[in-house]
Chain A
Amino acid sequence: MRPFAYATPPDAREAVLAVAERPDASFLAGGTNIVDHLRLGVATPGLLVDVTALTSAEIEDLPDGGLRIGAAVRNSDLAADHRVRARYPVLAQALPSGASGQLRNMATTGGNPLQRTRCVYFQDVTTPCNKREPGSGCAAIGGATRNHAILGASEHCIATHPSDMAVALAALDAQVQVLGPDGDRTIPFTDLHTLPGSTPEHDTVLGHGDLITAIDVPALPLATRSRYRKVRDRASYAFALVSVAACLDVADGEVHDVRIALGGVAHKPWRAHRAEEALRGAPATDESYRAAAEAALTDALPQEGFDGGNAFKIPLLTGTLVSTLRELAGEETRT
């Protein structure tokens, strides 16, 4: 652990400039991830710029019926918001399934999606990690891979993104409001996170100094029938082995519209477009759901590992998706 400077600029613009001008500066919001990384030596910033008080802590209605969630809104407050609970059950369910009550009281809307991917080797500075030290190698490949990716991984990194909230936002077509050194811009949430490729040191498309100021969730009537299902090794306070965020509109026994995002399977919250395409117009049956899971997992590549690896995630994800969609469709019968 190294000493670092701590700054509290007067506004977001100043904060962005303060970070932008120092390559070793980082933003600090709830601190639920970076403080761990400071202690572990995974993050060694020279300057922490505290933005907790510099972005909105409000949830505002948007004209289209959507919501604008200020970056400083705490996860626990967002989960409890009656509009979120009514319009986006998938988000209201995803939030409390993450971390612990204490952490959710600290974690923010802007910070949660920016938590680093989770991997025991990334967190252990005595092992090689391309994300921590580009070019040093990936200790996870062939290691303990139970929690690792089956989709979109590379030979450089097989980590998974740990956020539950982000999986719901990926399903909801959320938009990210960003303030950068060159001004404002909007990024579709599904474009925020990147796959590791040959540059696993980057988790997102944000540049140095880019600050999330708010996340917009558009109106999505379909989302009133939505669900977040997280499967993990213990009943609470564990990262997802797999998770499913789904919104489903069934009419006359057919899938009219659907949104699906998957967690615990990739370096980013995984929007399952192929599964959605496979489902639209299909009968709302287990067979269709299973086919959708197959479509989503076409390119799945499990990891071997001394711990048994993670091939189980394929049947697990299939079962979880089928079960989630079946429950959403309100079907009672098993097939």
Chain B
Amino acid sequence: MTATLEPRAIGRDLARRDGAAKVRGTAVYADETPVADPLFCRIVQATVARGRVTEVDTADAAALDGVVTVLTSTDAERLASTDDAELAVLQGTEVGFRGQIVAAVLAETDEVAREAVDLVRVTYAAEEHDARLAADRDDLYTPESVNPTYPPDTHEGDMAAAMAEAPMTLEATYTTPMHHNNPMEPHATTALWDASGAGHLTLWDSTQGVHPVRQTVTQIFALEPEQVRVICPFVGGGFGSKGTPHANVIMAALAARAVPGRPVRFALTRQQMFSLAGYRTPTIQRMQLAAERDGRLRGIAIDVVEQTSRIKEFAEQTGVPTRNMYAASNRRTTHRLAALDVPVPSWMRAPGECPGMFGPEVAMDELAAALGIDPVELRIRNEPEVDPETGKPFSSRNLVACLREGAERFGWAGRDHRPGVRLEDGWWVGTGVAASVYPTMRMPKSTATVTYDAGRFVGRIGAADLGTGAWTVLPQITADALGVPVEDVDVLIGDTDHPEASVAGGSSGTTTWGSALVEAVREFRDKYGDHPHDGDAASGSVNPNAAEEDYAMSAFGAQFAEVRVHADTGEVRVPRLHGVFAAGRIVNPRLARSQFLGGMTMGLGMALHEQSLLDPRTGHVVNHDLAEYHVPANADVDDLQAHWIDEDDPYVNAMGSKGIGEIGIVGTAAAVANAAWHATGVRVRDLPVTLDRVLPAR
């Protein structure tokens, strides 16, 4: 147990420090890094989903005025490591998915590069591909682990017996479609190798972690860490898609390698982001619930089928939240994968929890309806005393408080639980609830330094701010650790010249980097006391949290939705969406609210709009732009509220904080689907809840 900091700057409603620069347009993003005389890279993508490139005719492209070079797998430099097939850019002729990079053009202007890629002619020996996910495939396999290192299957007790013997059982299949992260800023890199031939590479990259990018790049190009600098002050959103470097980063470095001394800009187009920057796998979730008549679960099971790419495995941990959400002595969770000729899936906001709380939370709603129990009450009755999976007590678990607070704020009391009985002005009206959960994660490695200079303290750590607020909350934490006003503290981030930091992923940033800064301050005060001199500096690293041995740690929440369904057209609207969260101490209420609301809005998109349509005939996503891949528009969002309860958790970290970047998206879609059922009586088990799926309500 770490002594919790006395909150002075922590908890203050401070405006984001980078806000003014962003509003004024002076914040510099990767693709607009001011560099002298850049070249522009554009790519040619495979138009078959499986096969081999037999010929790349680059003559016309190379002949174009302004084209510097055309790169293909025949002439691109051999990379030192091709173990990661996603990153083995232009290293062979095999095509693993449609959209894979098969050639690239470097030109003096972006316009010429664009023209030139149209002139590159690629011939393929196409092979029959397979891009159709189904639960009844005969080639499903069990991965060794699911993201990041969970066992794929768990069995506790006897689920089959529970299903056979329980007075009430429920069995249903739920699906979530393929989703794409779609951050506003596309994946972009400006890359520069030094002209001297010393092999020094600078990457200005839009990333959730400069050090993870450096680590990958050093492996792939066989470089020492000192030879690579990655810089990223600002990120226009990532949602996981910039958490691990994708092929675009290697492409940029590889292209720049061909022209040492000249910077190269490479940004994916929106369409290219649908095949090269990761995505969330579609999921098929078969749920089983076995319950007593009073709603207490005797058993809960989830059997997940999802996809990965044939060339690289990513196994979404969809079944994991079912392992410790509710008390049930019999539990089964399984994951089966289909390896398809499709782009490589990866992290997307709350991997595991986000899709994995759809099936269970709709199933709980169905169970509540079947038993005639208030769905809020059903969840309360299944609240575990200890983590059902590990038997450890929770460091803090306030799901029940969130449900009660949310019910109070939302006006849940007195709800008529019957579905399809409220028609107001031609709209069926209903309400729904679902629970949220997200584990409190701490990454094993991160280091920070603190320096004193001219009356100010400067922290340095290679952290990332993807709009999440790190530029602002890290000074708050450092100030409280130092016991000085936050105005006297700067924390510099986003550069591998700063000490090594972990990825901004798993909602772990504030915990991990904040802990490193607190340790650095502790060192600093130990060495220099309360009266440092200019230039005094100290370093500290995040420690493993010993309390994790004894406690399970997660944030929880409850989401309440009101849904209206037009009686004639089936149009689905969500006039109210209220979330209440218990996520430890909130470091900055203003930024936290943004995080929660952003997560909930993305959850609303998952509920109503988002689905990547992967055409099984071609193997590519055909609605690959923001006109066709719908995310919520302002008109879709009306009364959206995020609240939190005061949670005092002395075990999580010195800040008392839990991660909040992802929990907002967890459970939202289930709350909306449950409300849509309550409105219409139509149970939608497949996302998104589009009008044609509720139209039969008429």
Contacts and interface: CB of A to CB of B under 8 A. Distances in A.
A69 to B, nearest CB: 26
A126 interface: yes
B691 A231 contact: yes
Contacts of A231: 569, 571, 691
Contact of A235 (B617, B636, B692, B695): B636
B566 to A, nearest CB: 8
Given A1-B118, A319-B568, A233 B426 contact: no
B573 interface: yes
Nearest to A308: B692
Given A121-B622, A124-B622, A316-B695, A144 B118 contact: no
Contacts of B570: 316, 319
Task: Name which of B567, B569, B608, B634 has the most chain A CB atoms within 10 A of its CB.
Answer: B569
Interface stretch (A236-244, A254-262, A265-273): A236-244
A134 interface: no
Given A120-B628, A144-B623, A233-B609, A319 B569 contact: yes
B66 to A, nearest CB: 11
Interface string B665-698: 0000000000000000000000000111001001
Given A144-B622, A231-B569, A233-B609, A319 B695 contact: yes
Contacts of A23: none
Contact of A236 (B111, B608, B633): B633
Given A143-B622, A316-B570, A323-B569, A234 B426 contact: no
Nearest to B269: A39
Contacts of A235: 573, 633, 635-636
Contact of A237 (B47, B622, B624, B633): B633
Interface in B564-616: 566-571, 573, 608-609, 613, 615-616
B382 interface: no
A52 to B, nearest CB: 23
A124 B617 CA distance: 15
Contacts of A334: 426, 567
User: Which secondary structure dominates where chain B touches chain A?
Assistant: loop
A169 B302 CA distance: 53
Interface string B528-563: 000000000000000000000000000000000000
Contacts of A241: 691
A3 B622 contact: no
Nearest to B625: A123
Given A143-B622, A234-B630, A316-B569, A307 B613 contact: yes
Contacts of A143: 615, 617, 622
B613 A144 contact: yes
A142 interface: yes
Given A308-B692, A323-B568, A2 B118 contact: yes
Contacts of B635: 234-237
A144 B615 contact: yes
Contacts of A142: 617
Contacts of B617: 139, 142-143, 306
B115 A316 contact: no
Interface string A106-149: 00000000000000110110110000000000010011100000
B609 A234 contact: yes
Contacts of A307: 613
Interface string B225-254: 000000000000000000000000000000
Contacts, number: 94
A233 B623 CA distance: 14
Given A1-B114, A319-B568, A236 B615 contact: no
A279 B45 CA distance: 54
Contacts of A217: none
Interface string B616-650: 11101011110110101111100000000000000
A306 B118 contact: no
Given A124-B622, A144-B613, A233 B569 contact: no
A76 interface: no
Given A233-B630, A241-B691, A320 B618 contact: no
Interface string A80-124: 000000000000000000000000000000000000000011011
A127 B630 CA distance: 22
Task: Name which of B567, B627, B690 has the most chain A CB atoms within 10 A of its CB.
Answer: B627
B560 to A, nearest CB: 20
A144 to B, nearest CB: 5
A63 B569 CA distance: 40
Nearest to A326: B568
A131 B202 CA distance: 45
A228 to B, nearest CB: 14
A315 interface: yes
A126 B118 CA distance: 11
A41 interface: yes
A319 B698 contact: yes
A322 B567 CA distance: 11
Nearest to B45: A126
B126 to A, nearest CB: 13
Contact of B695 (A124, A237, A312): A312
Contacts of B622: 120-121, 124, 127, 143-144
Interface in B285-321: none
Interface string B183-219: 0000000000000000000000000000000000000
Interface in A210-246: 231, 233-239, 241
Given A142-B617, A319-B695, 16 more contacts: A1-B114, A143-B617, A231-B691, A233-B609, A234-B636, A235-B633, A237-B633, A237-B635, A238-B633, A239-B627, A241-B691, A306-B615, A312-B691, A312-B695, A319-B569, A323-B568
7 contacts: A143-B622, A234-B633, A235-B635, A307-B613, A312-B692, A315-B695, A319-B570
Interface of B: 45, 47, 111, 114-115, 118, 426, 566-571, 573, 608-609, 613, 615-618, 620, 622-625, 627-628, 630, 632-636, 690-692, 695, 698
Which 7 pairs from chain A and chain B are nearest by CB? A312-B692, A323-B568, A235-B635, A319-B568, A236-B635, A1-B114, A144-B613
